[in-house]
């Protein structure tokens, strides 16, 4: 039995201490939530504005990087196009120079053909000269058996054969001399000039062509190298720009998702805040309009009036008309469920002898004065009645508080300080009745 009694006592003590632990846990949880989450609409708006500003700054930084990369790509493309135009210009210039060189080579070939023709003509003249010399030598040589033919009669007027031969020889000699003079005059001049001019022109043209060819080849090689370099740079820039664009797009999507998630959380918190505010307003309205609280206030006033009346007991003298003895009557009390003031007042009005009441029972008319021991017992009974009424009132307050705390699950309502400070025991049946009535009201 002692074990059961100890167990019950420990259970009661635990139940008495449990609300304090619960209130402390609720208070700590509320403080932690307020420290982590924004507790007011201004803080929520500030957090939202801060997230928007951070997102705008990040987006602007990404846009600036994208603009810089686009400017670099445009610059590389402009350089590549300029290099391509330079290459086309160089190709055209080289083609024109090659055409000029081909025309010069064709002119040189024409000069060479002219020189060859002159050389052939000189050779022909030399062969004719040698033939003429041979003929002249053959004409000078005469055979000894050859004799001049006899002249015919009547042929004296014709030139002699010797004269004709001499004239022919003389003409041939003159022609040979003329040809020799021409050959002597033209051969060294033409040969030397042609040879010198040909050698000089060929050497100079060859040197120029070689220099131009070397310059063209060097320019072509440098242009090809520049084109290759710019192509590599353009490809690397395109690759890097593509990777950078992918990273930027991924970062933008990540930031957008984070912003949407935060906005969703913010909207959820705003909805929860609005719901809690509505519940608080509803609870406040219910508390303000609850008839139980009105009755509790009235009971509090009645209890205070009864306590103050218990401390002062007045003696009302009997009226002269009736001739009755004085009686002890309590002063007029406030409205209460168990008050006896109306009966006393009725007795005074009818002229009867009023009798004081203790614990709801009317005393005898011949009761002694308050100075007697019976008056002391009546005062003790009155204090007992006041204590029982106070206990019942406190039990009603606790029951009403618990019934109002049950609907407000989102945010516990603030209990009355007078109820929290009271340590009186609570009656079980009355509490169960009040809680069941409140549950029925909540269900309705």
Beta bridge partners of 212: none
pLDDT in tens, 355-375: 444 444 444 434 444 445 555
CATH class of 50-139+162-274: mainly alpha
pLDDT, averaged across the chain: 69
Give the model's pLDDT for residue 260.
82
Strands 361-362 and 357-358: antiparallel
Q: How far apart are CA 71 and CA 73, in angstroms?
A: 5
- The full DSSP string for 275-329 is HHHHHHHHHHHHHHH-HHHHHHHHHHHHHHHHHHHHH--EEEPPPTTTTPPPEEE
User: For the CA atoms of 257, 260, 266, 271, what is the dihedral angle to 10 degrees?
Assistant: -130
- pLDDT class of 59 with cuts at 50, 70, 90: very high
What is the structure's pLDDT at 367?
Answer: 42
Over the stretch 62-86, which tens digit does the pLDDT of each residue have? 999 999 999 999 999 898 888 888 8
Average pLDDT, stretch 405-427? 44
- Split at pLDDT 50, 70, 90, the class of 318 is very low
273 versus 320: the higher-pLDDT residue is: 273
CA distance 15 to 437: 23
pLDDT band at 332 (very low <50, low <70, confident <90, very high): very low
242 Cβ contact list (under 8 Å, min separation 6): none
Q: Is the pLDDT of residue 47 over 70?
A: yes
The pLDDT value recorded for residue 68 is 92
Lowest mean pLDDT among 162-176, 233-247, 333-347: 333-347
Q: Which of 187-191, 211-215, 314-318, 428-432 has the highest mean pLDDT?
A: 211-215
* 98-116 confidence digits (pLDDT tens): 888 888 888 888 888 877 8
46 pLDDT exceeds 80? yes
Q: State the sign of the Cα–Cα–Cα–Cα dihedral 107, 112, 117, 122.
A: positive
Q: In the prediction, which pLDDT does 52 show?
A: 93
Statement: the pTM of the whole predicted model exceeds 0.75: no
Q: Residue ranges per domain, the chain?
A: 50-139+162-274, 291-362+373-444
Task: Return the percentage of the chain with pLDDT > 90, whole number.
Answer: 10
pLDDT at 336 over 50: no
pLDDT of residue 202 exceeding 80: no
As to burial, measured by CB atoms within 10 angstroms (0-12 exposed, 13-18 middle, 19+ buried), residue 178 is exposed
Question: Per mean pLDDT, which range of 39-43, 70-74, 187-191 is the poorest?
Answer: 187-191
**Phi and psi angles of residue 358, each rounded to the nearest 5 degrees, phi first:** -130, 120
């Amino acid at each position: 039995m002692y074990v059961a009694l100890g167990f019950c006592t420990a259970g009661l003590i635990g139940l008495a201490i449990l609300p304090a632990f619960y209130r402390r846990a609720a208070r700590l949880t509320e403080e932690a939530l307020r420290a982590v989450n924004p507790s007011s609409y201004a803080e929520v708006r500030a957090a939202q504005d801060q997230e928007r500003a951070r997102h705008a700054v990040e987006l602007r930084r990404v846009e600036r990087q994208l603009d810089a990369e686009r400017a670099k790509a445009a610059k590389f493309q402009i350089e590549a196009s300029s290099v391509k135009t330079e290459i086309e210009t160089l190709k055209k210039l080289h083609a024109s120079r090659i055409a000029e060189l081909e025309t010069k080579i064709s002119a040189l070939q024409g000069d060479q053909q002219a020189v060859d023709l002159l050389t052939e003509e000189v050779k022909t003249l030399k062969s004719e000269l040698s033939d003429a010399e041979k003929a002249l030598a053959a004409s000078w040589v005469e055979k000894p058996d050859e004799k001049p033919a006899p002249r015919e009669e009547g042929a004296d007027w014709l030139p002699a054969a010797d004269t004709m031969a001499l004239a022919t020889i003389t003409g041939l000699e003159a022609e040979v001399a003329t040809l020799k003079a021409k050959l002597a005059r033209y051969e060294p001049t033409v040969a030397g000039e042609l040879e010198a001019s040909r050698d000089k022109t060929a050497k100079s043209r060859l040197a120029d062509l070689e220099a131009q060819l070397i310059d063209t080849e060097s320019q072509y090689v440098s242009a090809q190298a520049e084109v290759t370099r710019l192509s590599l740079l353009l490809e690397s820039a395109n690759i890097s720009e593509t990777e950078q664009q992918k990273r930027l797009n991924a970062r933008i999507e990540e930031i957008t998702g984070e912003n949407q998630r935060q906005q969703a959380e913010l909207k959820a918190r705003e909805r929860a805040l609005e719901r809690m505010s509505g519940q608080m307003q509803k609870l406040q309205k219910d508390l303000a309009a609850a008839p139980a609280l009105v009755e509790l206030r009235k009971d509090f006033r009645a209890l205070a009036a009864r306590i103050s009346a218990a401390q002062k007991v007045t003696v009302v003298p009997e009226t002269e008309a009736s001739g009755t003895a004085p009686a002890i009557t309590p002063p007029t009390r406030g409205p209460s469920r168990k008050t006896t003031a109306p009966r006393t007042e009725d007795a005074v009005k009818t002229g009867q002898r009023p009798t004081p009441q203790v614990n709801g029972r009317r005393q005898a008319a011949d009761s002694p004065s308050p100075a007697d021991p019976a008056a002391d017992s009546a005062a003790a009974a009155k204090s007992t009645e006041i204590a029982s009424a106070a206990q019942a009132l406190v039990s009603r307050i606790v029951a009403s508080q618990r019934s109002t705390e049950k609907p407000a699950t989102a945010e516990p309502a603030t209990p009355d300080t007078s109820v929290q400070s009271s340590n009186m025991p609570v009656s079980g049946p009355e509490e169960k009745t009040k809680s069941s009535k409140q549950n029925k009201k909540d269900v309705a």
